[in-house]
Structure 1
Amino acid sequence: MNNQYMRKPLTASILLSMMAISLSAIAADPELPEIGPELDQAAELIKRQNQTSVADPTAPSTVISDSEAQDAIRSRQQLAEATAYNLEALKANPAAFSKFLNDALAAQDMVTVKQLLPHYKALEINDPMLIKFADALIYRSEAKNKQAIEIYRGMLAEDPDFHPVRLNMAIAMQADKQYAAAKEQFLKLQAVDLPAPVMARVKNSLSQINNSEKWQFNASASYVRDNNINDAPSKTIQSQWGNSVEQKTANGLQVSGSANKRFNLPNNFYATVGGNASLKGYWDQTDYNDYLLTASAGVGYDDAKNDVSLTPFVTKRYYDEEPYSLRKGVTVSGSRWVKPKLKLSATTIFSNETFEDDSNANRETDGRFLGLNAFYIKDAKEYFYGGLGNYRNDVPKSSIISYDRNSVNAGWGREWKRGISTLTTLGYGIKKYDDPADALAGGTLQGYYVSVGGEPGSTREDKTASLGLQVWKRDFTLLGLTPRLVFDYETTSSNFAYYDDRDEQAATILLTK
Structure 2
Amino acid sequence: MKLTLSAILLLFPVSVLAHSPKSPSEHLDDHRIADERVRENIQDALPTQPKQTVVPNIQPQQTVALSESQLQQHPDLLERALIAALLQGNGENASLLLPHYQKLPENLQEPTFHLWAKALIARWRHQYTQSVRLYRQALAQQPDWSVLRLQTAAALLSNKEFDAAEAQFRKVQSENQLPAGFAQEIESVLLYIKRQSRWQFSGNTTYINDKNINNAPRNPDLGGGWRGDQAESGQGLAVNLGTNKKWFWKNGLFNEWRLDSNSKFYWNNKRFNEANVRASMGIGYQNAKNSITVLPFFEQAWYAGGKKGNETLRRFSNSRGIALEATHTFSPKWQGSLTAETAQNRYRTRKHLNGNTHFVSLSAVYQHNPSQAWFGGIDWHRNNARDGDDSFDRIGVRAGWLQDWKGLSTRLITSYGKKNYRSAGFFNKTQRNRELGVQVSVWHRAVHWQGLTPRLTWSYTKTDSNIPLFRYNKQRLFLEINKQF
TM-score (norm 1): 0.79
- 1:504 correspondence with 2:485: no
Q: Which amino acid aligns with 2:413?
A: T
Which residue number corresponds to residue 485 of structure 1? 456
**What do the CA deviations read for 1:49-84 (whole angstroms, capped 9, x no partner)?**
xxxxxxxxxx25674344xx253486899xx9x999
Distance in 1 between the 2:31 and 2:96 partners? 59
Contact 1:412 1:425 in 2 (8 A): yes
Which residue number corresponds to residue 6 of structure 1? none
Give the secondary structure class of the aligned counterpart of 1:203. Answer: helix
> Which residue, out of 374, 391, 399, partners 1:410?
399
Q: Which amino acid aligns with 1:288?
A: F
- 1:339 correspondence with 2:339: no
Which residue number corresponds to residue 277 of structure 2? 293
Write the mapping of 1:153-164 to structure 2, written as runs, cut at 5 A. Answer: 153-164=136-147
The number of equivalent residue pairs is 452
Distance in 2 between the 1:107 and 1:265 partners? 30
Write the mapping of 1:11-50 to structure 2, written as runs, cut at 5 A. Answer: 33-34=21-22, 35-36=26-27, 37-39=29-31, 43-47=35-39
**What do the CA deviations read for 1:76-112 (whole angstroms, capped 9, x no partner)?**
99xx9x9998555565555555555555556655445
Distance in 1 between the 2:370 and 2:79 partners? 33
Which residue number corresponds to residue 407 of structure 2? 419
Q: Which amino acid aligns with 2:460?
A: Y
Write the mapping of 1:342-491 to structure 2, written as runs, cut at 5 A. Answer: 342-358=334-350, 361-395=351-385, 397-416=386-405, 418-436=406-424, 448-449=426-427, 456=428, 458-491=429-462
Deviates more, 1:288-297 or 1:370-379: 370-379
C-alpha distance 278-357 of structure 1, shift in aligned 2 (>3 A): same
Give the secondary structure class of the aligned counterpart of 2:215. Answer: coil
The Cα of 1:372 is off from its aligned counterpart by 1.8
Give the secondary structure class of the aligned counterpart of 1:146. Answer: helix
C-alpha distance 337-70 of structure 1, shift in aligned 2 (>3 A): closer
Q: Which amino acid aligns with 2:478?
A: T
Write the mapping of 1:299-318 to structure 2, written as runs, cut at 5 A. Answer: 299-318=283-302
Distance in 1 between the 2:280 and 2:249 partners? 18
Which residue number corresponds to residue 71 of structure 1? 51
C-alpha distance 167-432 of structure 1, shift in aligned 2 (>3 A): same
Give the secondary structure class of the aligned counterpart of 1:172. Answer: helix
Contact 1:61 1:389 in 2 (8 A): no
C-alpha distance 505-187 of structure 1, shift in aligned 2 (>3 A): same
Give the secondary structure class of the aligned counterpart of 1:362. Answer: helix
The Cα of 1:469 is off from its aligned counterpart by 1.7
The Cα of 1:231 is off from its aligned counterpart by 2.9
Distance in 2 between the 1:284 and 1:75 partners? 51
Which residue number corresponds to residue 138 of structure 1? 121
Write the mapping of 1:160-175 to structure 2, written as runs, cut at 5 A. Answer: 160-175=143-158
Which residue number corresponds to residue 310 of structure 2? none
Distance in 2 between the 1:73 and 1:227 partners? 44
The Cα of 1:156 is off from its aligned counterpart by 2.4
Contact 2:282 2:295 in 1 (8 A): yes
Q: Which amino acid aligns with 1:422?
A: T
Distance in 2 between the 1:383 and 1:407 partners? 21
Q: Which amino acid aligns with 2:436?
A: A
Give the secondary structure class of the aligned counterpart of 2:126. Answer: coil
Write the mapping of 1:190-339 to structure 2, written as runs, cut at 5 A. Answer: 190-193=173-176, 194-235=178-219, 237-238=221-222, 241=225, 243=227, 245-320=229-304, 321-339=313-331
Distance in 1 between the 2:470 and 2:375 partners? 31
**What do the CA deviations read for 1:107-160 (whole angstroms, capped 9, x no partner)?**
655445444543454467776544433321221133322322232233223322
C-alpha distance 251-103 of structure 1, shift in aligned 2 (>3 A): farther
Contact 1:60 1:369 in 2 (8 A): no
Contact 2:339 2:360 in 1 (8 A): yes
C-alpha distance 40-183 of structure 1, shift in aligned 2 (>3 A): farther
- 1:188 correspondence with 2:171: yes
Aligned-residue sequence identity (percent) comes to 27
Contact 1:293 1:315 in 2 (8 A): yes
Which residue number corresponds to residue 8 of structure 2? none
> Which residue, out of 161, 165, 174, partners 1:178?
161
Give the secondary structure class of the aligned counterpart of 1:71. Answer: coil
TM-score (norm 2): 0.83
C-alpha distance 163-223 of structure 1, shift in aligned 2 (>3 A): same
Deviates more, 1:491-500 or 1:374-383: 374-383
Distance in 2 between the 1:244 and 1:148 partners? 65
The Cα of 1:201 is off from its aligned counterpart by 2.5
Give the secondary structure class of the aligned counterpart of 1:156. Answer: helix
Distance in 2 between the 1:509 and 1:153 partners? 51
The structure whose RCO (Cα within 8 Å, separation 6+) is larger is 1
Q: Which amino acid aligns with 2:441?
A: Q
Which residue number corresponds to residue 23 of structure 1? none
**What do the CA deviations read for 1:146-205 (whole angstroms, capped 9, x no partner)?**
322232233223322101111111121222222222222222222212111222222222
C-alpha distance 339-420 of structure 1, shift in aligned 2 (>3 A): same
Q: Which amino acid aligns with 1:200?
A: Q
Distance in 1 between the 2:473 and 2:89 partners? 54
Which residue number corresponds to residue 3 of structure 2? none
Q: Which amino acid aligns with 1:199?
A: A
Aligned residues: CA RMSD: 3.2
Contact 1:110 1:141 in 2 (8 A): yes
The Cα of 1:398 is off from its aligned counterpart by 0.7
The Cα of 1:367 is off from its aligned counterpart by 0.4
**What do the CA deviations read for 1:420-456 (whole angstroms, capped 9, x no partner)?**
22222111111100012xxxxxxxx6xx21xxxxxx5
Distance in 1 between the 2:462 and 2:193 partners? 46
**What do the CA deviations read for 1:462-484 (whole angstroms, capped 9, x no partner)?**
11111112222223202320111
Q: Which amino acid aligns with 2:158?
A: A
The Cα of 1:309 is off from its aligned counterpart by 1.4
Distance in 1 between the 2:228 and 2:220 partners? 10
Q: Which amino acid aligns with 1:195?
A: P
Q: Which amino acid aligns with 1:263?
A: W
Distance in 2 between the 1:505 and 1:309 partners? 36
Distance in 2 between the 1:347 and 1:328 partners? 17
The Cα of 1:260 is off from its aligned counterpart by 0.4
C-alpha distance 318-427 of structure 1, shift in aligned 2 (>3 A): same
Contact 1:110 1:138 in 2 (8 A): yes
**What do the CA deviations read for 1:400-429 (whole angstroms, capped 9, x no partner)?**
11000111112222222x232222211111
Distance in 2 between the 1:294 and 1:96 partners? 63
Distance in 1 between the 2:34 and 2:209 partners? 20
Q: Which amino acid aligns with 2:334?
A: L
Contact 2:317 2:347 in 1 (8 A): yes
C-alpha distance 111-237 of structure 1, shift in aligned 2 (>3 A): farther
